[in-house]
Amino acid sequence: MTHFKHSPYQDWESLALKERRKEAPDEMLHTTLEGIELKPLYTAADLAEIEYHESLPGLAPFLRGPRATMYTGRAWTVRQYAGFSTAKASNEFYRKNIAAGQTGLSIAFDLATHRGYDSDHPRVEGDVGKAGVAIDSVEDMKTLFDQIELDKMSVSMTMNGAVLPVMAMFIVAAEEQGVKPEQLSGTLQNDILKEFMVRNTYIYPPEPSMRIVSDIISYTATNMPKFNPISISGYHMQEAGATCLQELAFTIADGIEYARAARNNGLDIDAFAPRLSFFFAIGMNFFMEIAKLRAARVLWAEYIDKLFKPKNPKSLMLRTHCQTSGVSLTSKDPYNNVVRTTIEAMAAVLGGTQSLHTNSFDEALALPSETSARIARNTQLIIRDETEMTKVVDPLGGSYYIESLTQSLINEARKIIDEVEEMGGMAQAVVSGMPKLKIEESATIRQARIDKNEDVIVGVNKFQSDDEQQLDVRVIDNQQVRVGQLKQIDEIRSTRNASVVNSALKSLSAAAESNSNLLEAAIVAARARATLGEISDALESVYGRHQAQNQSVGGVYGRAFEHNEQFMELQSQICEFEEEHGRRPRILVAKLGQDGHDRGANVIATALADIGFDVDLSPLFQTPEEIVRQALDNDVHIIGISTQAGAHTQLVPEVMTLLKQQSMNDVVVICGGVIPPQDHAALYEAGVSEIFGPGTHIPDAAANLLDHLK
């Protein structure tokens, strides 16, 4: 038997580095988007700097998991984020999924509901039922959970802006099913700070919005001990372009701010902290995502212990839901998305998530079909039941690379969290615009890397397929849904006791001006059959409706393309255009309807400005009339409509009609975003010149626009 002499780890690492230098002398270290330098080899020597190398699962700071037995005792909750068109259609979908192995519900509401509008409001004509289920009253909520036992089913509701009426209606629907508030289990997202940063489905200004969050935490602490009153969400930050590090740090900082708000509302930390939960995105950076979840648990335990001194160790425990990335899904070669989602789901499991939603492969094109949703759900079941990943707690614990990466994220995140705390906390940071601008800068850098082929997206910027696949996607008849919702609203208003409703709404407004609990007052109004829009209006009459100010990052995209031949050629063409026409080509980048996802619009606006276009960026939540008026006032050559939530089928043709009425037929209209191929013909017929899907190479798109202006 041969005996090998064991050299120190540093010698082994040195040998490996020498070998790598021979093969790739200029690629010794890789710097991630997070600014973390990765070595080609990690050894036991890298564990010397690890702070919690002897950590055990179930014990603070919970590096290796919040529960001692983790999945060996009970697997994560299999969720499916879903909701579309009507409450009845969504209910049927939920019951099928439950029968097929789903163990928790995650409700997706339409954008009209998110923004506090009833389905009959003129601003939401194109949004009703399109990107989620329409909820106007308790009757819709009762239908949504028909034959679903709310005392046994965990329900997660992704709701932030209109969180008071939605939560109130959920409680009343359960009450009329015979289920008491203390029997309800699940999670309410209720994370308004990230809405002001990235997702934008806010209603009221930041200060009263934080009051609403605090009142809900207070109510549930007293009345709903099994319910998580807030899911502190980093998911939408990463979807908007945040790096894993930014998502991690800003999410923990958000959580600290909510804990501080609840404490300032008179609650003891141990009365609510054990019911706080988190929500993270899981993208394609496999090991970074695993390390992120481990780091998040450590950071939460550290900061809660330091700032709030809880007595209950459960107050230090970070529990999280995860969802695979939506932005990593591609409309080109979409079956590749099955593989992407599988990789991301594995990262969530290896990182120790408590529940998981897997996206469907066709969601870069439309709402998921039944087939794609089944594949997404079965992805989790296969990981859970066929891979034996659940047999060992934290199977990657002790990995030289994972432990080092986790520590690097902890170290860098502390710097960002401390910076936020020095600003006065996350609410003040959000008001300053700091997190939003940092995230938008990261999104722009990422897009530039993709457009330069530095970051490979298989099927998009490399290994493209010549066979453009057509998928059968789910189509929602928005107008049919809206007609049905309007009929039900009319029926409710004609049969309820108007004086009782008015009294309840006045009491809600009075509560907004006093210290009374807002959720308690909203429950009374919901029970009287006040609609979601009426409850929201009662609060808006006191608080007003928030309107964000556009901010943008300049020069980031252009710096990435410095000395690039195509980029310089585009700039030369714009100079020629300016010499010929006396001004540069001008584009209005517009958001129609209630879709607040503005990553695409912001990146496009920044990139085109760096190329040399004059760019106007519309406010969010615009009507066709408002977009055409702005285009007319600014005398633009092009209107670029960014869309993600399906309202384009209704609203874009309205824009085209209004342009004709204003004799603006020479204005070029383009669309970009999540637009199913089945919708293209109707948009082209309406007069749209070009449609750019996810993954579009921006310099190529800019060249296309200039061709249209010749």
Residue spans of beta strands (DSSP E) within 73-226 = 77-82, 104-107, 155-157, 186-188
3-state secondary structure of 260: helix
Catalytic residue among 194, 236, 292, 321: 236
Would you state the structure tokens that stand for residue 446, as one six-digit string?
A: 């990422």
Nearest CA to 629 out of 607, 658, 601, 600 is that of 658
Distance CA 615, CA 623 (A): 19
| 635 catalytically annotated | no
CA distance 397 to 394: 5
Nearest-angstrom CA–CA distance, 626 and 624: 5
Q: Say whether 242 sits in a helix, a strand or coil.
A: coil
- The answer to whether the beta carbons of residues 121 and 112 sit under 8 Å apart is yes
Specify whether the CB–CB gap between 43 and 321 falls below 8 A.
no
**Active site includes 595?**
yes
Give the active site residue among 42, 52, 71, 81: 81
Q: What is the spatial distance between Cα 695 and Cα 509, in angstroms, rounded to a whole number? A: 46
What tokens appear for 298 in the block?
């450590």
Query: Does the annotation count 204 as an active-site position?
Result: no
C-alpha closest to that of 698 among 587, 596, 597: 587
The position carrying tokens 């342009």 is: 659
From residue 359, how far is each of 79, 80, 160, 373 by CA, in Å?
10, 8, 21, 8
Number of neighbours of residue 392 by Cβ within 10 angstroms: 12
Residue type, 108: A
Q: Which residue has the tokens 């499916």?
A: 80
Of residues 485, 618, 513, 613, the one with CA closest to residue 557: 613
Whether residue 664 contacts residue 630, with contact meaning beta carbons closer than 8 Å, is answered with no
Positive/negative CA dihedral, 7, 8, 13, 15:
negative
Nearest by Cα to 110 from 85, 137, 81: 85
- Active site includes 591? yes
**Paired tokens of 306:** 């330091």
Give CA–CA dist 312/87, Å, rounded: 40
d(CA 466, CA 458): 13
Structure tokens at 170: 């959920």
User: CB-based contacts of 472: which residues, under 8 Å, 6+ apart?
Assistant: 369, 371
Of the candidates 191, 333, 595, 598, the residue annotated as catalytic is: 595
Is 648 annotated in the active site? no
What phi, psi does 109 have (nearest 5°)? -100, 155
Q: Which of 219, 235, 543, 557 is the catalytic position?
A: 235
**Could you tell me the two tokens for 581?**
């026409």
User: Which is catalytic among the residues 591, 598, 610, 637?
Assistant: 591
Tokens of residue 548, six digits: 């964000």
Clarify whether 81 is annotated catalytic.
yes
**Which positions are catalytic?**
81, 235-236, 591, 595, 597
